Amino acid sequence: MMETERSDRMKLVTVIGARPQIVKAAALSREICRHPDLNEIIVHTGQHFDANMSAVHFETMQLRPPDYNLNISSLSHGAMTGRMLEAIERVLLAEKPDYVVVYGDTNSTIPAALAAKKLFMPVVHIEAGLRSFNMRMPEEINRILTDRISDLLFCPTETAVRNLENEGYRNFDCEIHKSGDIMQDAALHYSQIAAERSTIIADLDLDRFIFCTIHRPENTDDPSRLASIIDALNAINRDVPILLPLHPRTRKILTERGVTPRFRVTEPVGYLDALQLLKHCSLVVTDSGGLQKEAFFFGKHCVTLRDETEWLELVELGFNVLAGADPESIHAAATRMLDKTSDFTLDLYGRGRAAENIVTCLREHYCRTH
Ligand code: UD1
């Protein structure tokens, strides 16, 4: 395309890097593509690089390959953040976007926001306002710092808006919008495709099962917490079979410590397979942020292997239980949630219209400011 044509269009640079960000960016990109006046450049930091953590997601989500691949991964937090900051700044200087779009709370989010802010490029934070109130989580640090330097903050929930208001954000030079949760957009759209294409339920011969994931450093890096969780899962597995697709870091740690779970473990699964697992499971047991909500989207209860959550509304309304890492609490919570019935029709996350809301706000903002 000619440079003159391009310059008439509103240009976004989207920065992603970790598995869930690919899912979220795909949902927004589908909406962006419907507007010829928008031009999106995709930058992948490389944070997640295994085929089943990254490339597979691009294919199944029909997200076009990134325009830039920075190949930065497997480093300490400081080194990863530092190298990303430098590399993203170079891309932004070359692309000169009107907006820089970042997602969530990962080590790819904060360097993108920081590089953009220091170049006076407006930062758009999707999934703003979430808080666990646990400053020992790298994600909590990433999300608080990103929120503070963002210009447009898109909150998935009312709780997230309230968190920002409580921190005085109405006095800051930024806009706060409640957009709904973009992961619900993705779940609604891709679950139909998953039903047609994924064969995981038949392939693994699954009937009644619990869908489990573990990857948070607070669980994996603390030997006693990890051992307690595995013990609890071994016990639950005697009643209802557990299926655990393993994040590469958790696998590495279990192997190093010589721990062999007595339940079924697989490689990480693609997004479509994950959606089918959510649809067919009896319960979700996880320490993932995203999966807690996805359980709700698919009408499933969740037991969360953490002491706090960013999705408080699910706990308050009884869809989710925080069980920490204590084997007895986990077992008791799983037993209780397996028997429970709830009404999952409540609209907590915007019913799949987040991408549309975000693009509408961005276009209005662009018209107002250009
Ligand atoms: C990151 C995010 C977390 C998010 C999660 C989703 C941060 C601080 N955390 O955690 O919020 O919920 O992604 O999955 O950004 N590794 C591989 N192959 C991969 C990816 C990772 O082997 O494709 C290994 C590497 O040794 C790497 C380690 O896992 O150093 C940790 O990965 P990293 O991306 O730092 O954090 P996650 O635990 O995935």
Q: Is the pLDDT of residue 356 over 70?
A: yes
Q: Specify the pLDDT at position 13.
A: 98
Q: Is residue 191 part of a domain?
A: no
Question: Which residue's C-alpha comes closest to atom 26 of ligand 1?
Answer: 74
What band does 95 get if pLDDT is binned at 50, 70 and 90?
very high
* DSSP 8-state class, residue 342: -
Based on the domain organization, do 37 and 156 belong to the same domain? yes
Q: Is residue 192 part of a domain?
A: no
Q: Is the pLDDT of residue 188 over 80?
A: yes
Q: Is residue 7 part of a domain?
A: yes
**Distance between Cα 48 and ligand 1 center (Å):** 6
Based on the domain organization, do 163 and 246 belong to the same domain? no
pLDDT digits (tens, 9 = 90+) for 288-310: 999 999 999 999 999 999 999 99
Based on the domain organization, do 12 and 130 belong to the same domain? yes
Closest ligand 1 atom, CA of 288?
A: 12
Q: Specify the pLDDT at position 5.
A: 46
Based on the domain organization, do 75 and 172 belong to the same domain? yes
Q: Is residue 346 part of a domain?
A: no
Question: Which residue's C-alpha comes closest to atom 30 of ligand 1?
Answer: 74
Q: Specify the pLDDT at position 57.
A: 83
Count the neighbouring beta carbons within 10 Å of the beta carbon of residue 354: 28
Based on the domain organization, do 236 and 278 belong to the same domain? yes
Q: Specify the pLDDT at position 166.
A: 98
Q: Region 228-255: what's the mean pLDDT?
A: 96
How far is Cα 325 from Cα 261, in angstroms, rounded to an integer? 16
Least confident range from 9-13, 62-66, 313-317, 335-339: namely 62-66
Based on the domain organization, do 59 and 129 belong to the same domain? yes
Based on the domain organization, do 166 and 17 belong to the same domain? yes
Based on the domain organization, do 285 and 234 belong to the same domain? yes
Choice from 73, 143, 269 to test ligand 1 binding pocket (greatest atom count within 8 A of CB): 73
Q: What angle do CA 240, 244, 249 make, to 5 degrees?
A: 155
Q: Is residue 185 part of a domain?
A: no
How many domains does the chain fold into?
A: 2
Q: Specify the pLDDT at position 3.
A: 41
Domain hosting 255: range is 199-338
Report phi then psi at 314, rounded to 5: -70, -35
Just list the catalytic residues.
215
What band does 6 get if pLDDT is binned at 50, 70 and 90?
very low
What the block records as the tokens of 130 is: 């979430």
Q: Is the pLDDT of residue 318 over 80?
A: yes
pLDDT digits (tens, 9 = 90+) for 133-173: 999 999 999 999 999 999 999 999 999 999 999 999 999 99
Based on the domain organization, do 325 and 222 belong to the same domain? yes
User: What single-letter amino acid sits at 131?
Assistant: R
Do 228 and 10 touch, CB atoms closer than 8 A? no
Based on the domain organization, do 217 and 329 belong to the same domain? yes
**Distance between Cα 239 and ligand 1 center (Å):** 31
Who lines ligand 1 at CB under 6 A?
18-20, 47-50, 53-54, 74, 105-107, 138-139, 215, 248-249
Q: Is residue 144 part of a domain?
A: yes
**Distance between Cα 62 and ligand 1 center (Å):** 22
Q: Specify the pLDDT at position 319.
A: 98
How far is Cα 276 from Cα 298, in angstroms, rounded to an integer? 10
What's the whole-model pTM score?
0.94
Distances (CA, A) of 221 to 254, 263, 322: 10, 21, 19
Q: Specify the pLDDT at position 7.
A: 55
Q: Is residue 193 part of a domain?
A: no
Choice from 21, 23, 48, 304 to test ligand 1 binding pocket (greatest atom count within 8 A of CB): 48
Q: Specify the pLDDT at position 2.
A: 41
Q: What is the CATH number of the domain that holds 24?
A: 3.40.50.2000
Q: Is the pLDDT of residue 264 over 50?
A: yes
Based on the domain organization, do 263 and 360 belong to the same domain? no
Question: Which residue's C-alpha comes closest to atom 21 of ligand 1?
Answer: 48
Based on the domain organization, do 55 and 116 belong to the same domain? yes
How far is Cα 307 from Cα 318, in angstroms, rounded to an integer? 16
The chain-wide mean pLDDT, for the chain, equals 95
Q: Is the pLDDT of residue 4 over 70?
A: no
How far is Cα 315 from Cα 306, in angstroms, rounded to an integer? 12
Least confident range from 8-12, 121-125, 199-203, 274-278: namely 8-12
Q: Is residue 188 part of a domain?
A: no
What the block records as the tokens of 223 is: 């030997």
